Structure 1
Amino acid sequence: MSDTHTEQASQQAELQKRLWAIANDLRGNMDASEFRNYILGLIFYRFLSERVQQYANQLLGHDEMTFADAYADEDVRDDLVEEITNALGFFIEPSALFDAMIDHIQKGNFDVEMLQDSITEVQSSTIGKESEGDFKGLFEDMDLSSTRLGNTVAARSELIAKVMMNLADIDFHENELQIDVLGDAYEYLIGQFAATAGKKAGEFYTPQQVSKVLSQLVTLGKEEVPTVYDPTMGSGSLLLRVGDYAKVAEYYGQELNGTTYNLARMNMLMHGINYSRFDLQQGDTLENDRFPDKTFDAVVANPPYSANWDPAGKLDDERFRKYGKTAPKSKADFAFVEHMLYHLKPTGTMAVVLPHGVLFRGAAEGKIRQYMIEHDNVLDAVIGMPANLFYGTSIPTVVLVFKKNRDRDDIFFIDASKEFEKGKNQNNLTDENVAKIVETYKSRKDVDKLAHDATLDEIKENEFNLNIPRYVDTFEPEPPVDVDKLVADIQSTDEQIDKLQSEFSGMLNDLEGKTPDAQAQLTKIKELFKNE
């Protein structure tokens, strides 16, 4: 590892450690998932403030005029505001910057209403601009009037001031890598909160190592992926991971949960993705497709497993019509797959995480699966993942890889269920595990007890049942039994028992007759021993 990467890793680890310590120390009795909205919101507000300050300094160059001076100058102000807003998508005036709030705290005249006004101004600055939709309601989950922070304005102000002072003590500018480091630290916090959120955690976070697998699968052999889409994007971590392996021009996503949708937009900006490069929408993907006419070069998703949905009338929907059947009301898994395939470009690649049931369940799901394989020929690979990888569920999952316009009709199976490192609460994929899965898929060769390239005839013989053990035999035979040794061991054990029985009888005889009570007890013991 290079010195630069070592420095970045060290900086990142220290930043993550300190941020999580702040979250734990200051949330008090508040539920972690609730406090998440405050600490992540405040980190994000500091980030926005510093982006404005830095850009203003660049504009002013070597002039002696500071940002505050320029803003105070009526001849300069309007042009300054317009330039910054057009570039960043928002504006924060000097008196409302994070550092200005810190100054108020140090002088003892800060209150949360002052902060609330400043945050409101961020959104107001985008009204009528191209970025308005990207910032609308962005801070609505950071309710500074909530009594959960304190019963009075003073109490709420005191708690928020403590959080802000702790954040102010962290230097985000140690080197030029701060954007990546800060963005990754922000995502680390999202993951840590997910680890404490129980069953609902899977709604907003896909573990980073799983995201790496999907992202590498859809970018293999590509330096550029113009567009990437996640129909159930959660906090956006999976979308962002694709950008680690290929140059992405535009990010698209949809998310049902409002709080999680806000997290995703913050996450994008925290990773240095300009508002003009992402289009994230809120809503039910299956009921209200916000990108009805768009197709994408890469599609990735970790949708809610076996979710309820309303299939009524869906065969009139272009996304689902051709399959002739709809996914069951209580299992929307294939509905998400159909939606994703509809939005995949002919030259694109798609990877989705699903429960194993999609491989073998019958009825409508069996018909849909058969159509995708036999008629459309879009299923490229089936990769069985280890159990207990995800927050909120311990079930094993499967990654399905889809491609359109394939020039082959085989399906490549990988059983990666044993490719993990056991953790305290969850199993983890190591970088080596991830690399092995991706390289196995890339080579597309049979590997004993790991991978098999199944022909269409094999799939048909199994009646389109894709259960992985039908194609990858991982059975480990028991070692042969040494009968002679087993007999010798039994004889030796019998001799030991006889010896112990003899010694025990001798001890009983030594004690016999000592007292009437002892005699009675010994008689009982002998009878029991004889019966045994």
Structure 2
Amino acid sequence: MNDKVKQDDINKALWDACDTFRGTISADTYKDFILTMLFLKYISDVWQDHYDTYQKEHGDSPELIEALMKSERFVLPRDASFYALYDRRYEAKNGERIDKALQAIEEENGTKLKEAGTSVFQDISFNTHKLGEEKQKNEILRALLEHFDKPELNLKLSRVGTLDVIGNAYEYLIKRFAAGGGQKAGEFYTPPEVSDLMAELLDPQPGDTICDPACGSASLLIKCGARVRTKHGSKNYALFGQEAIGSTWALAKMNMFLHGEDNHRIEWGDTLRNPKLLDKKGGLMLFSLVTANPPFSLSDWWAQDELGNNEVDKFDRFHRGMPPKTKGDFAFISHMLETLDPVKGRMGVVVPHGVLFRGSSEGKIRQQVIDENLLDAVIGLPEKLFYGTGIPAAILIFKKNKIDKNVLFIDASREYKSNKNQNELSPENIAKIVATYREGDSVEKYAYIASLKEIQDNDYNLNIPRYVDTFEEEEEIDLVAVREERLALTAQLNALEVEMAGYLKELGYE
């Protein structure tokens, strides 16, 4: 392995490759091309790496090498590799060749790049008029292939040493697209430190089934899986997710592969209107751990039949009350609660602060959830953590079979690392939140254990300042000292005025 290989060098080379498209199409469009090409380059380099190894070991037996390559985790048709495309980059029809290569890769790898027959690359076409007329398109794609052929983007495992280097590069690109593309590009992205925090708080265990019903690019699921592996040295877990946006669902599937997560099921579809993670009887699947950062206050989230009746509650998810049509926050919460394992189920969800105190139907649902003793903690986060919105958010932790009826409130809104216009949670910020949650005790001006009666006395309002007093008393002002200081300053000013008048008189000014 080349010890000089650095994550930052790979990341920079990838970001430079985006120059191919800048000025031609927007970031929320070309991100699909860049991320897909990264995927193709990675699998091509891994395939070549393994082929070279087998060649050294069994060079006199091409049949054996061919058989060994077919037993690899991934099968790459020779004509569909990045290098086959690169070698023909000066020929016409680059876009058509790349599309055919992606299609061939899908066909050779069964379900790895499909879910219920849905193709990962179905919404991604390099042979698109968005890149201009044929000649311009061909030149752009030739430049893209040349960018990815740079030495910095040699992604062979024998060189980069660990699969996480590739996965981290993928996450880096997603973050940069979210930061640069505003709300549209950031819809599918949860900041990595928030994913880290959620995974730490929920503490996934070996044997857990883990679900994110609004999984985006699946970073939160991947962090949960990584925690089981690093903390327990186990791969005994399963990841499940659903994502409504087709291109983002494709990113999730590719992201899973790049992180080596084969035991997963990611469905494409609207979780609220058409949940697809169902058991053999057609009911909602149940999970040990459910977590999500769903869209904030999603409007028009429900489906209606021709008579205007609501169709989304056929799974009895909203028996506590129907969330308002204009705000889908409690729709996601209600769905997630109904998918929790009744014995060991636990859940974490990111929500806007309005969920904590809004009234009407949301207030009734909130009251019911609290009276059922499902809410375990409310954690306030700093503002400007999430791309596309500056509003602060909160994390709600729910548990089945709680041992008491208390709720822990944590106000972490004032502790963060500022990075230009975007705030971040530092490792120390995360460690403090997790330690406070684990200990479950009140901490002056930071955390408070509230009883059910206190919450009831507050009309089930969960607004954090009602429970965590962060008021800082102002230092008492000594009025006598202030008056003496003022008199001294006045005397100095008068002396200066006399001195200035003398200078003016000497100069002939009256």
TM-score (norm 1): 0.84
* Stretch deviating more after TM superposition (407-416 or 240-249): 240-249
Q: Which residue in 2 is equivalent to 1:195?
A: 179
CA–CA distance in structure 2, aligned partners of residues 234 and 436 of structure 1:
27
CA apart distance, 1:178? 3.1
Which residue, 108, 115, 137 being the options, matches 1:156? Answer: 137
CA–CA distance in structure 2, aligned partners of residues 104 and 29 of structure 1:
23
Mapped pair 1:296 → 2:291 = no
Q: For the Cα contact (< 8 Å) 2:106–2:119, is it kept in 1?
A: yes
Q: Which residue in 2 is equivalent to 1:93?
A: 77
CA–CA distance in structure 1, aligned partners of residues 354 and 296 of structure 2:
10
CA–CA distance in structure 2, aligned partners of residues 175 and 82 of structure 1:
23
CA–CA distance in structure 1, aligned partners of residues 116 and 171 of structure 2:
19
Q: Which residue in 2 is equivalent to 1:123?
A: 106
CA apart distance, 1:22? 2.1
Q: Which residue in 2 is equivalent to 1:104?
A: 88
Mapped pair 1:366 → 2:363 = yes
CA–CA distance in structure 1, aligned partners of residues 380 and 409 of structure 2:
8
CA–CA distance in structure 2, aligned partners of residues 159 and 316 of structure 1:
48
Q: Which residue in 2 is equivalent to 1:396?
A: 392
Q: Which residue in 1 is equivalent to 2:296?
A: 305
User: Where in structure 1 are there 5+ consecutive unaligned residues?
Assistant: 515-532
Q: 1:440 to 1:118 in 2, by over 3 A?
A: same
Supply the AA of the counterpart residue of 1:294: M
Q: Which residue in 1 is equivalent to 2:199?
A: 215
After superposition, where does 1:162-173 map in structure 2 within 5 Å?
Answer: 162-169=143-150, 170-173=153-156
Q: For the Cα contact (< 8 Å) 1:214–1:351, is it kept in 2?
A: yes
After superposition, where does 1:157-306 map in structure 2 within 5 Å?
Answer: 157-169=138-150, 170-173=153-156, 174-175=158-159, 177-219=161-203, 223-247=205-229, 249-274=237-262, 277-292=263-278, 293-306=284-297
Q: 1:318 to 1:108 in 2, by over 3 A?
A: closer
Which residue, 432, 436, 441 being the options, matches 2:432? Answer: 436
Larger % of helix: which?
A: 1
| 1:359-390 deviation line (CA, Å, top 9, x unaligned) | 1111111111111111x211000000011100
Supply the AA of the counterpart residue of 1:104: R
Q: For the Cα contact (< 8 Å) 1:229–1:251, is it kept in 2?
A: yes
Q: Which residue in 2 is equivalent to 1:49?
A: 44
CA–CA distance in structure 1, aligned partners of residues 188 and 502 of structure 2:
71
CA–CA distance in structure 2, aligned partners of residues 283 and 25 of structure 1:
32
SS of corresponding position for 2:345:
strand
Q: Which residue in 2 is equivalent to 1:522?
A: none
Q: 1:368 to 1:65 in 2, by over 3 A?
A: farther
Q: Which residue in 1 is equivalent to 2:15?
A: 20
Supply the AA of the counterpart residue of 1:246: V
CA apart distance, 1:132? 4.0
Mapped pair 1:472 → 2:505 = no
CA apart distance, 1:459? 1.1
Supply the AA of the counterpart residue of 1:288: N
SS of corresponding position for 2:129:
coil
CA–CA distance in structure 1, aligned partners of residues 322 and 508 of structure 2:
82
CA apart distance, 1:135? 7.7
CA apart distance, 1:160? 1.5
* Stretch deviating more after TM superposition (44-53 or 334-343): 44-53
CA–CA distance in structure 2, aligned partners of residues 512 and 25 of structure 1:
73
| 1:388-430 deviation line (CA, Å, top 9, x unaligned) | 1000001011000010011211001110011201111211111
CA apart distance, 1:30? 2.5
| 1:117-171 deviation line (CA, Å, top 9, x unaligned) | 21221223356x686437843223432222332322x332222222222222222
Mapped pair 1:449 → 2:437 = no
SS of corresponding position for 1:251:
strand
CA apart distance, 1:339? 0.4
User: Where in structure 2 are there 5+ consecutive unaligned residues?
Assistant: 230-235, 279-283, 304-308
Q: Which residue in 1 is equivalent to 2:233?
A: none
Q: For the Cα contact (< 8 Å) 2:302–2:312, is it kept in 1?
A: no
CA–CA distance in structure 2, aligned partners of residues 253 and 202 of structure 1:
18
Q: Which residue in 2 is equivalent to 1:523?
A: none
Give RMSD over aligned pairs.
3.1
Q: 1:477 to 1:246 in 2, by over 3 A?
A: same
CA apart distance, 1:19? 1.3
CA apart distance, 1:504? 7.5
Larger radius of gyration: 1
Percent same amino acid among aligned pairs? Answer: 37
SS of corresponding position for 1:370:
helix
Supply the AA of the counterpart residue of 1:458: E
CA–CA distance in structure 1, aligned partners of residues 240 and 389 of structure 2:
27
CA–CA distance in structure 1, aligned partners of residues 113 and 140 of structure 2:
32
CA–CA distance in structure 2, aligned partners of residues 14 and 130 of structure 1:
29
SS of corresponding position for 1:345:
coil
Q: How many pairs align?
A: 489
CA apart distance, 1:489? 2.8
Q: 1:513 to 1:53 in 2, by over 3 A?
A: closer
CA apart distance, 1:506? 7.7
TM-score (norm 2): 0.87
SS of corresponding position for 1:62:
helix
CA apart distance, 1:184? 1.1
SS of corresponding position for 1:477:
coil
CA apart distance, 1:25? 5.8
SS of corresponding position for 1:210:
helix
Q: Which residue in 2 is equivalent to 1:114?
A: 97
CA–CA distance in structure 2, aligned partners of residues 452 and 42 of structure 1:
49
| 1:478-499 deviation line (CA, Å, top 9, x unaligned) | 1110112211233234445555
Supply the AA of the counterpart residue of 1:121: A
Q: For the Cα contact (< 8 Å) 2:121–2:250, is it kept in 1?
A: yes
| 1:200-242 deviation line (CA, Å, top 9, x unaligned) | 24420000000011111111xx541531110111111111011
